[in-house]
Structure 1
Amino acid sequence: MSYERRGGYRRRHRDDYDDRRRESYETPEEKLKTAIIKLGEVDAVEELPRLQKQIQEFEPLNVANVSEAFRIGVTEQPYKIPYYAALIRLLHDRPGEAISSEGPPLGRLVLEDFWKGFQAYLDQLAWREARLCIHFFAHLTVARLISPESMVALLQAFIAVLDEFGVSHGRAKRAALCAAEGLIIGGRSLKPYSATSVTEIIDAIQAFNETTASAKWLVQPTVKVFSEALAIANGDELLDTVLYALKALNDSDFTHTADSFPQPYTNLPAPPAELEPFNLPSVLVPPEIIELDALSTDVDAEDTAQVKKEEWPEYFLRLFDNDISPDPNTPAGYAVRTALLDIISIFEVNRKECARLLLEYPKWNLPGAFKPKPGAPTPSDVEPVAGKEWQLESTIIETILGALLVLPESSHKSVYYISLITELCKLSPSTVGPAVGKSIRKLYGSLSEGLDVEAARRFAEWFAVHMSNFGFQWVWKEWVPDLTLAVQHPRRTFMRRAIEFEIRLSYHERILKTLPEAMQASDAHTIPEQPPGPGFEYDDPANPHHDAAQSVLNLFRGRAKAEDVIAHLDSLKTTLEGAEDADTAPLSVNVDATVRSIAVQSLLHIGSRSFSHLLNAIERYLPLLRAITSSAEAKAGILSAAAAFWKGNRQMVGIVFDKLMQYQIVDPTDVVAWTFANRAGGLDAFEWDLMRAALDKANGRVVIARRRVAALRKEEDDTRARVRARAEDAAGAMEVDAEGDGNPAKQDEALVENPALATALKAFTSLTREQKAALSRTLEGFVACLCPADTDAGATTGMKPNAHTRTVITEAAWHNRAKWDNEEWNAWETWGWYRQFCRAYSPYLRNYSTTLYTVSFARFEGSTDPAAALLNKTWNVATGQDMS
């Protein structure tokens, strides 16, 4: 035993020694680089002179290494940009030496190398990095280290993008932000040089912004379905806010820039008079990269078009008043929100570090902008900034939720924003917790004020996940008075949706205990009476088909072969047809439906024990499922049977539908058609989730098939090129007859067509047709819901042609929404999902716009129906045909 212990000790000791030998040690250059990147860990202003001395005394100094550290700091820690500008300013100094006696100062050398990195970002169209570099250049312009004329030329290069023919919204928006934010920071030095250029830049951004009015109308987070108003009380669009801030600064000749951005370099001595400012080289913003697939000519050009994610205006929801969080329409408010959004975006890879930096943000902002934490010492020399003293935690939560609720989709996955808020609560529960509570109440209040249905769905997801992380603690009794509202009112819909998500994250009994007694009642329609679980329709002995279902169930339990089960179902069908009285018997199709339902529900009953049981059951009996789905009616039948079996657990309905599509038992078009056929008055979030999954499945298959074809085409082209090259080499080495086999063209023609490519092209064509069919069926379903063909012109807005749904058309009716019943709210929600369908799938809809419009909107020609007009307007905006 003692020997084993000593041996174990020696082994551990040897392993520790080997680990130490493998440890990497920083070189002096790496330590210098790290020091630059970590500028400001304690106090940036006090660290600047020390870091300046450390850089200037380093021997031998690698300028490229120092420049790379600056690039990392500027693009990954943008809140430090003003201090990096101050450091560059200090690196231009040569104490005790004449500027003209030696070469360029160190700061200039670093700046020249930094420019190379910026040019690389620009060539790669790395927009965020390029924009942050422009921030850096703008600060250096104010510090008089960059010439105003070259900075103006740089901003004008980005403004030129706005005049490009057919420029996409995303490209133009990013270019406009680069120019606008550079002007906001550097306008103090640029306007004295050329007021005309400053005005031209602002006018160009304004002109482009005016062309995006219709797109803004479609992505507002708060909507009034039939209103075309662009201004909303609780939201701000990104380009609108930057223009408001820019115009406010321009009106004051940019004298208030220092009230919005830290400028530590202004406290340093002015640069030597003999120091010439650095002239930024002229640039040209590279064009967008357009990828084309080299597909065979037997595929329609419409089908081969590349699908690129559509970029929309960015509306950020406001939750708090301007005295709590900064107004983004002001220069200071815009600067704060932009800085917070940059931190959130850059540190997506590390949410814990992101949460820490967000709570430390006041350290990098102007002193007095945010209220100090309770009990924190306040420096005597810091006075509150006039009109500020915002609440940091409320500002952060508002910014995160604004990014989460951007429509049609957020920049990052919802789970990132949700987990980031969780980390903030863990870091500072006493201050972040109240801000989260206030945000929940604000969002809940906006549900009855027109909060978009997609934003409401994300809100419910965040609420449920957040509650699950903190013991499901919420004051539900605050919302008990809302139980008197219509069942389909958005607030009651939110309650049901959030509780359904909570049950998925926990279990029914626990969530039930967190609710007040009024919400537990069955007539409250808030929580199901029973826990989510399977509902085998034929399990009741009183069911007339109980014995038949048990026989099928026993076959599944015994793992009978699919062929035997099919034969048993055929005999069962014969038995059921013969048992019915001829006068009262249902049609044979109903017998088929009954047998099909028995088979599907029995199979799902076998697979209900776990997810792996479900997959095993489906995979084992794929031949059976294909045998009973020979028609569209049969496919709809198995979807209905699956939905009936899992009616108590809607999550499982989506999972089963997904697996049936994955194994190609049903097509996405079948799921879409079933969803519209089984809607109860209107579409809700659950039905939209089913349709979204089907559309994503169809679109995803086309993307995969396109990539497969492109890869095979490239492989074939490479093969042909190699054969041609070998033939040309052989022809150059010896003389060949004109009709000889060495002819490169003959060699090329002799290549046998790649069978894999032919198969991939055929699959691509088939999947493209399926994609178009799914999109077409979805559009037809929405049109039939929102504007039925059997109604009089102007008499409908939704589900049924009656006086109630007619009232949704008018603006006055919206103000009378407190009296709406379920039909009106159903119609309103269905309109919301139609808007989400159009904006979320607009790239695909644009590919087939002509075909889809002809199929779905032809009957509206010359119609005066307001519902038809709204359908058309939404469609035209989504497909880029309404650019007003």
Structure 2
Amino acid sequence: MSRRRHSDSYDEGQDHKRRRTSEATDIEDSLESLICNVGEKSKSSLESNLEGLAGVLEADLPNYKNKILRILCSVARLLPEKLTVYTTLVGLLNARNYNFGGEFVEAMIRQLKETLKNNLYNEAVYLVRFLSDLVNCHVIAAPSMVAMFENFVSVMQEEDVPQVRSDWFVYVVLSCLPWVGKELYEKKDVEMDRLLSQIEGYLKRRVKTHLPMLQVWTAEKPHPQEEYLDCLWAQIQKLKKDRWQERHILRPYIAFDSVLCEALQHNLPPFTPPGHMPNAQYPMPRIIFRMFDYTDAPEGPVMPGSHSVERYVIEENLHCIMKTHWKERRTCAAQLLSYPGKNKIPLNYHIVEVIFGELFQLPSPPHIDVMYTSLLIELCKLQPGSLPQVLAQATEMLYMRLDTMNTTCIDRLINWFSHHLSNFQFRWSWDDWADCLTLDLEKPKPKFVKEVLEKSMRLSYHQRIVEIVPPTFAALIPADPIFVYKYETENASLLPGYPISIIVCNAIKNRASNEEILTILKDVPNPNQDDDDGYEGESFNPLKVDVFLQTLLHLAAKSFSHSFSALGKFHEILKNLTDSDEGKLHILKVVYQAWKNHPQMIAVLVDKMIRTQIVDCAAVANWLFSQDMAHEFTRLYIWEILHSTIRKMNKHVQKIQTELEEAKDKLEKQQNKRVQPRDSGDEEDMEKNSEDEEVQLEEQIEKLQEKVESAQSEQKNLFLVIFQRFIMLLTEHLVRCETGSVNVSTPWYKNCVERLQQIFLMHHVIIQQYMGTLENLLFTAELDHHILAVYQQFCALQL
């Protein structure tokens, strides 16, 4: 009709293409939103929403099948709290389109293999559970699900594999049974009985040496510290006894039974569990945390019993909600409080117990500690009438049970409680805890209160802490965090370094150079040197370090940044003064003496000194375990410094290893490039440049290899120092008690043993690399069984 230039029609074609692409993207985004948000904030019933969504998706299958498959596979893995909603949706789609149902099952099996290959075991649990619930929706035939479970359970017969591998496959099977047990028993009762009988046999012969290392409390009362598989097994046994009837799983597919039962079912393809690989990282065993039972929540709905499957289902769903929404505290809190079926249970008690259960999980919580603090604050804001009361009740219970609580969990409780108080004007009924004032200060209760006030001061200031507690708590209030300058004390003029300290002080104020200050320090007499030694300068001079560092820190005491700046400016002098192991130890001793009233300042200055290589990690470990620090040994900040030091060492090794791997990859790419055919005239020049680059890379790799070996040697040495010091301290204590016929289990002993466990747990991945060395040099058969037991518990974690 009307004529157009060729270019015009081409442009229009491009616009049309762009518009089509844009429309497709919009539809795909819309599909994702519809699927992810189904059942949320809707005036219609969940069933009508699902029916409507199934119709929309069926209509879009011809054009967007792959996208729909991908989204549904993702939600099965990433939104486990809505498991039955999505299995119902897949069931409705399968009833309408049998081929799609088959493709979905195949895609799920592919995804399951991928998650296992990538060590994503938690996500794999959700995928298997999803597949098992598809049996209820008539998508998967029950016999093929039982066959998959039988294959999983066969892993128990494997030889020379770690127990944690068999544990995981047993856990997967048991954790699916609350959802699908009834259906499978109706169809395959003989096979299911055989399966459960095999599992029971396995659970009876399982080794549980690891148990004491993971317990939150050492006491068995009021709540036993059950191992996760034992607890789940008891719950499944009770469920079986109750004829597989449970009342807390939302099952929207029941409303569509007449439609779903007409659908054709799929058989799962034979699934063989992937073999054990040396680099596999199976989940560690866990303890089931219990704080409340039905007597603690007297009003309202009754809390399900510890061994009822409802307790497992509720806790599992709350964990899933937290896993999905942990990065958004407001959304997470709102989702927890709108838990389906919340009117049938004391929800606030369940939520508080699950949050503390995660916070106290050993070796580490699933998420960063501050997430739990911010989540509890948000929950208190959303439920101001009831949740703060439950939280206060929980805090009181935790305080009452401090005597038997694991030291690592007490650390986390201190950090949480002080942070929580800082968000509520530090309001607390301190008089209720006055019982701690009559106890020895080394006992857990007064120590807990003292550490809480210490941490609260970091989030506030000293005078505020003095004001928030009753005067009777004076003995537990932290010291005023002031600098102690020994050359300004009452009898300072009698100290041997006093005259030089004045000269050094003036020199620093007058911006003297490093050389000038070193010249001044040459005149400092050496208390370590014999008068007739004849040669000054060979032996380490502690007074030099004392005079210079005390004076420098005194002048920079105004703030953290002033102190950092001072260490940076006089780095050269400090390195000069600490060129020996004695020097490094002494510089740390001086920092402590000057800032002993301010633990946070000590921690940040030690951190800075490690970063700037004024001291090394082994020196910090030796200092913390030294006699000078014995009176501070059970203080929380000491262990924060030690763990921070270990993490720095580990990061240093990791960084060099990464650099080495990158250099090796670069060299490999370079070599591959060189062997590829070229048709350029500059071939010879390129060849020469390539060879030169390869030579440089090989030299770089050699140097990095040496650095890695040196760093690993340093890392191994750090752990050897730490464990050796622990063994010495504990052995001395045990010998003392035996000689004096005194009870071994003092508060100090409990603290020390649990700190040793903490080192093993927090750094288990690294320590496992050096097991052979530790066994040959330190944890030998001759060691006292009290100490050796800790090492054996650690080994059992990855049996």
TM normalised by structure 2 equals 0.86
Does structure 1 residue 282 correspond to structure 2 residue 270? yes
Paired residue for 1:686, among 600, 612, 637?
637
Give the equivalent residue in structure 1 for 2:3.
none
Asked if structure 2 preserves the Cα contact closer than 8 Å seen for 1:709 and 1:757, the reply is yes
Residue by residue, what CA displacement relative to the aligned partner does 1:497-552 show, whole Å, maximum 9, x if unpaired?
100000000011112111012112xxx2x013x42132222123630344321221
Residue by residue, what CA displacement relative to the aligned partner does 1:129-172 show, whole Å, maximum 9, x if unpaired?
33223222222212333101111223234334455555456554
Asked if structure 2 preserves the Cα contact closer than 8 Å seen for 1:63 and 1:109, the reply is no
Give the equivalent residue in structure 2 for 1:606.
555
**Unmatched 5+ stretches in structure 2:** 1-21, 298-302
Paired residue for 1:146, among 140, 146, 151?
140
Structure 2 distance, partners of 1:36, 1:687, is 50
1:331-410 equivalence runs, <5 A? 331-361=309-339, 363=340, 365=341, 370=342, 372=343, 389-410=344-365
Tell me the SS of whatever aligns to 1:277: coil
Structure 2 distance, partners of 1:350, 1:201, is 41
Give the equivalent residue in structure 2 for 1:220.
215
Does structure 1 residue 645 correspond to structure 2 residue 594? yes
Residue by residue, what CA displacement relative to the aligned partner does 1:324-362 show, whole Å, maximum 9, x if unpaired?
44445321100010111111112122222111100011x
Structure 1 distance, partners of 2:267, 2:167, is 26
The structural deviation recorded for 1:253 is 4.2
Asked if structure 2 preserves the Cα contact closer than 8 Å seen for 1:507 and 1:531, the reply is no
Does structure 1 residue 474 correspond to structure 2 residue 435? no
Tell me the SS of whatever aligns to 2:482: coil
Change (3 A) 1:201 1:602: farther
Change (3 A) 1:437 1:590: farther
Change (3 A) 1:699 1:186: same
Paired residue for 2:514, among 552, 556, 562?
562
Structure 1 distance, partners of 2:425, 2:180, is 49
Paired residue for 2:51, among 30, 34, 49?
49
Change (3 A) 1:54 1:758: closer
Paired residue for 2:84, among 71, 82, 101?
82
Asked if structure 2 preserves the Cα contact closer than 8 Å seen for 1:702 and 1:768, the reply is yes
Change (3 A) 1:477 1:841: same
1:116-155 equivalence runs, <5 A? 117-118=111-112, 120-155=114-149
Change (3 A) 1:172 1:653: farther
Give the equivalent residue in structure 2 for 1:696.
647
The structural deviation recorded for 1:262 is 2.1
Give the equivalent residue in structure 2 for 1:265.
253
Paired residue for 2:232, among 233, 242, 252?
242
Change (3 A) 1:786 1:343: same
**Unmatched 5+ stretches in structure 1:** 1-22, 95-102, 292-307, 373-388, 735-741, 809-823
Paired residue for 1:765, among 709, 713, 724?
709
59-68 or 497-506, which deviates more: 59-68
Change (3 A) 1:709 1:675: same
Aligned amino acid, residue 441 of structure 2 = V
Change (3 A) 1:202 1:646: farther
Structure 1 distance, partners of 2:258, 2:106, is 21
Asked if structure 2 preserves the Cα contact closer than 8 Å seen for 1:317 and 1:402, the reply is yes
Asked if structure 1 preserves the Cα contact closer than 8 Å seen for 2:483 and 2:597, the reply is yes
Change (3 A) 1:54 1:328: farther
Residue by residue, what CA displacement relative to the aligned partner does 1:652-677 show, whole Å, maximum 9, x if unpaired?
11111111111112111111111111
Tell me the SS of whatever aligns to 1:280: coil
Tell me the SS of whatever aligns to 1:62: helix
Paired residue for 2:458, among 504, 510, 517?
504
Aligned amino acid, residue 441 of structure 1 = E
Change (3 A) 1:185 1:661: same
Change (3 A) 1:145 1:850: closer
Asked if structure 1 preserves the Cα contact closer than 8 Å seen for 2:223 and 2:291, the reply is no
Tell me the SS of whatever aligns to 2:541: helix
Structure 2 distance, partners of 1:628, 1:104, is 79
The structural deviation recorded for 1:615 is 2.1
Aligned amino acid, residue 511 of structure 1 = I
Give the equivalent residue in structure 1 for 2:584.
635
Aligned amino acid, residue 155 of structure 1 = F
Give the equivalent residue in structure 2 for 1:464.
418
Asked if structure 1 preserves the Cα contact closer than 8 Å seen for 2:779 and 2:788, the reply is yes
Asked if structure 2 preserves the Cα contact closer than 8 Å seen for 1:155 and 1:182, the reply is no
The structural deviation recorded for 1:750 is 9.4
Change (3 A) 1:564 1:206: farther
Give the equivalent residue in structure 2 for 1:319.
291
Aligned amino acid, residue 225 of structure 2 = G
Tell me the SS of whatever aligns to 1:609: coil
Structure 1 distance, partners of 2:235, 2:579, is 62
RMSD: 3.5
Structure 1 distance, partners of 2:164, 2:351, is 25
496-505 or 780-789, which deviates more: 780-789
Give the equivalent residue in structure 2 for 1:38.
37
Does structure 1 residue 796 correspond to structure 2 residue 737? yes
Change (3 A) 1:488 1:107: same
Give the equivalent residue in structure 2 for 1:839.
761
Change (3 A) 1:749 1:343: closer
The structural deviation recorded for 1:484 is 0.4
Tell me the SS of whatever aligns to 1:848: helix
Give the equivalent residue in structure 2 for 1:65.
67
Asked if structure 2 preserves the Cα contact closer than 8 Å seen for 1:460 and 1:494, the reply is yes
Structure 1 distance, partners of 2:255, 2:676, is 67
Does structure 1 residue 329 correspond to structure 2 residue 307? yes
701-710 or 606-615, which deviates more: 606-615
Structure 2 distance, partners of 1:465, 1:277, is 54
The structural deviation recorded for 1:882 is 9.9
Give the equivalent residue in structure 1 for 2:569.
620
Paired residue for 2:185, among 181, 187, 191?
191
1:558-597 equivalence runs, <5 A? 558-573=510-525, 592-597=541-546
Tell me the SS of whatever aligns to 1:430: coil
Structure 2 distance, partners of 1:347, 1:519, is 40
Aligned amino acid, residue 189 of structure 2 = A
Does structure 1 residue 417 correspond to structure 2 residue 389? no
404-413 or 207-216, which deviates more: 207-216
Change (3 A) 1:196 1:656: farther
Tell me the SS of whatever aligns to 2:265: coil
Residue by residue, what CA displacement relative to the aligned partner does 1:191-212 show, whole Å, maximum 9, x if unpaired?
2333344245435555555534
Aligned amino acid, residue 335 of structure 1 = V
Identical amino acids, percent of aligned pairs: 23
Structure 2 distance, partners of 1:660, 1:726, is 53
Give the equivalent residue in structure 1 for 2:300.
none
Does structure 1 residue 491 correspond to structure 2 residue 463? no
Does structure 1 residue 849 correspond to structure 2 residue 771? yes
Structure 1 distance, partners of 2:141, 2:798, is 42
TM normalised by structure 1 equals 0.78
Does structure 1 residue 547 correspond to structure 2 residue 499? yes
Number of equivalenced pairs: 755
Change (3 A) 1:592 1:33: closer
Asked if structure 1 preserves the Cα contact closer than 8 Å seen for 2:226 and 2:287, the reply is yes
Aligned amino acid, residue 329 of structure 2 = R
Structure 2 distance, partners of 1:163, 1:538, is 72
Change (3 A) 1:58 1:772: closer
The structural deviation recorded for 1:577 is 10
The structural deviation recorded for 1:52 is 3.5
Structure 2 distance, partners of 1:140, 1:591, is 74
Structure 1 distance, partners of 2:260, 2:715, is 66
Does structure 1 residue 776 correspond to structure 2 residue 698? no
The structural deviation recorded for 1:842 is 3.2
Tell me the SS of whatever aligns to 2:47: helix
538-547 or 556-565, which deviates more: 538-547
Structure 2 distance, partners of 1:205, 1:174, is 12
Asked if structure 1 preserves the Cα contact closer than 8 Å seen for 2:231 and 2:288, the reply is no
Tell me the SS of whatever aligns to 1:706: helix
344-353 or 686-695, which deviates more: 686-695
